Structure 1
C-alpha cells in the first residue's frame, strides 16, 4: 500500500452541503482500498503556489511527505464510488464555512491534482446480528449512503441521522423499509451534537444488535460507553469511528502537551497482542482521563 496522484475530471453538487468530486486515479491499485462500504482515503492538497502536491517517499516502511516543508494539508474522506477497472473514484465533500478540504473542493476544476494514500475502512457487521443501528452526522452521510445502498436487509436497519436541514436526508435515499430517526438542526458545528443522547434513549428491537457510528468524536465515545456499559455489548457488535472533533483546534493544542504519553498507551496495547479496536479503546480511555 503506497500512494497515488489523482486528477479531477468533474465536480457536481449533490446537495446543498455536499459536493462530489470525480477523480481519475491511474495507480488506484496501489492505494490498497479494503473494499468496505465505509472505506476512506487520505487526500492531500497542493500547497499555496503549487498545482500538484509533491510525491510521497518511503522511509523505514512508512510512506509520507518526508523532508517536505511545508507538508501538504490533507483530510480523510469517504470513497463514495469506485470503479477499479476504469481507475476512477468519486468523493463527496461536506461543504463548511472554512477548512482545507472544503475550500479545495469548492474551487476544484478538471485537471487539478491531489495525492491519495492511507486507505482503510471499519464497517464489518456482526454476522449474527438480528438488527443494525447506523448512526451518522453530515460527515458520515457518504459512508451511510453507500452502506445502505448495498445492505441486504434494509428492513433490519435503524438509522439515526443528525443533519443541518431536512433536505440533507434526501442525499441518502433511504429505503421505505428502513426506520429513520432524523435529528435536524443540531451538531455539525452548528450546536452541540445530540447523537449520544439519541442512541441512549433509543427503543431498540429485541435480539442481537450491531452498531456502526461515524460522526463527531466526543459523541462516538458516549455511544461506545453506552453500548458497552449499559447494554453490555461485546466489541464485535460495533464499529465506532470519530470522524472529526468539535473545537478541533483547541483540542489539538491540549493534546500536543500529552500526545506522546497517550499514544504510548495505544502502542503498548498493540505490543501486548491486543487487537486494534481494543487498543483504540484504551487510547480513548486515556484521552478521557487526560480531559481530552
Structure 2
C-alpha cells in the first residue's frame, strides 16, 4: 500500500541573512538565506512538504526563538504572550549544503507577518530558522498522481515535480491570481498542468476553482494506486475531504493527503 514515511529530525535554532531576492511572479518572491549556522541543516531531498518556522525579528538584535529542551522538544511556553519574535511556517524550496543557502518562496500580500516582510525585504536582513522537526517522505511509485494547489503550496508542488520519476503520470490543478502569476515548472512528459485564474470570474473566492476541479474530476483519474495531494485554504480542504469521502470506492482514503496551508481569516497563517 502507498503511504507516507515520517522521519524525525533534531531541532536546532538557527539564523541566516538574506543574500538574494528574486521575483518569480507578481505574487511570488524567492528569498535566499545564507549563514554558517545552516551547517548540518536537516534538509531531506525526498520530502517536498518539509517546512521550517521562520522568525521575523523587528530589529536584528531582537531575534527571540524557543530553546530546545533536553528531551529534544521545543520550549514554547510564553509563545501566546509574545515571548518570541513573530513566526510562521514556510516550505523549504531548496537547500545547498555546500554554499549553506536556503531558498524560501513567499506569497506577497499585506496581511499577517511573512507576506508584508517579503514585500520590503532587503539584502542583509536577518531571519530566525527553527526546524524542520520532522519530514514526510511520500510514495514515488504510485500509478498516477493528482494535485490541487494554490500559490501557497506552489513551492511544495514544484518540489514534488522534482522528486517524482520523469515517467510519472501527473494531473495537477493550480489556482493563482491571474495568468501573470504562473511560474515555470520543470516536469516530465506525462504531466498535465491546469492553471486556474481567479481574475477570470468576478468575486471569485479562494479555492473555489480548485474545488470545482475536484467536483468535475474525471473518474479515470482515480484508481487503487492513485496518490492525491491537495494543499490550499483550510475551509476548502474541509469541503474537499467531504467530497472525497463519496469517492472512496474509487480511491483509497489512505492514498489521500489533504493539507490546510492557510485560513481565510488570516493570510498570515499560511505555511508557505
Shorter-chain TM range is 0.7 to 0.9
Instruction: Please state if 1:216 is matched with 2:233.
Output: yes
**Inter-partner Cα distance in structure 2 for 1:170 and 1:78:** 17
Structure 1 residues 100 and 206: alpha-carbon distance in aligned structure 2, compared to 1, 3 A threshold? closer
**Inter-partner Cα distance in structure 2 for 1:227 and 1:126:** 22
Structure 1 residues 52 and 229: alpha-carbon distance in aligned structure 2, compared to 1, 3 A threshold? same
TM-score, L = length of structure 2: 0.79
Instruction: Please state if 1:133 is matched with 2:146.
Output: yes
Q: CA RMSD in A?
A: 2.8
Give the unaligned 5+ runs of structure 2.
Answer: 1-10
Structure 2 partner of 1:160: 173
- Counterpart contact for 1:93–1:101, Cα < 8 Å: yes
Shift of 1:99: 2.3
* Superposition map of 1:1-150 within 5 A: 1-28=11-38, 31-35=41-45, 36-47=47-58, 49-59=59-69, 61=71, 62-64=73-75, 66=77, 69-119=82-132, 120-122=134-136, 124-125=138-139, 127=141, 129-150=142-163
More displaced 10-residue stretch of structure 1: 13-22 or 144-153: 144-153
**Inter-partner Cα distance in structure 2 for 1:173 and 1:33:** 21
- Counterpart contact for 1:135–1:214, Cα < 8 Å: yes
Structure 1 partner of 2:7: none
Greater helix share, structure number: 1
Helix, strand or coil for the counterpart of 1:158?
A: strand
**Inter-partner Cα distance in structure 1 for 2:217 and 2:167:** 18
Helix, strand or coil for the counterpart of 2:104?
A: strand
- Counterpart contact for 1:210–1:238, Cα < 8 Å: yes
Structure 2 partner of 1:205: 221
**Inter-partner Cα distance in structure 1 for 2:136 and 2:76:** 25
**Inter-partner Cα distance in structure 1 for 2:26 and 2:110:** 13
Q: Kindly provide the CA deviation profile for residues 88-142 of structure 1, in whole angstroms up to 9, marking residues without a partner as x.
A: 1111101112321011112222221111113144451363x21100110110111
Give the unaligned 5+ runs of structure 1.
Answer: 252-292
* Superposition map of 1:187-202 within 5 A: 191-194=205-208, 195-202=210-217
TM-score, L = length of structure 1: 0.74
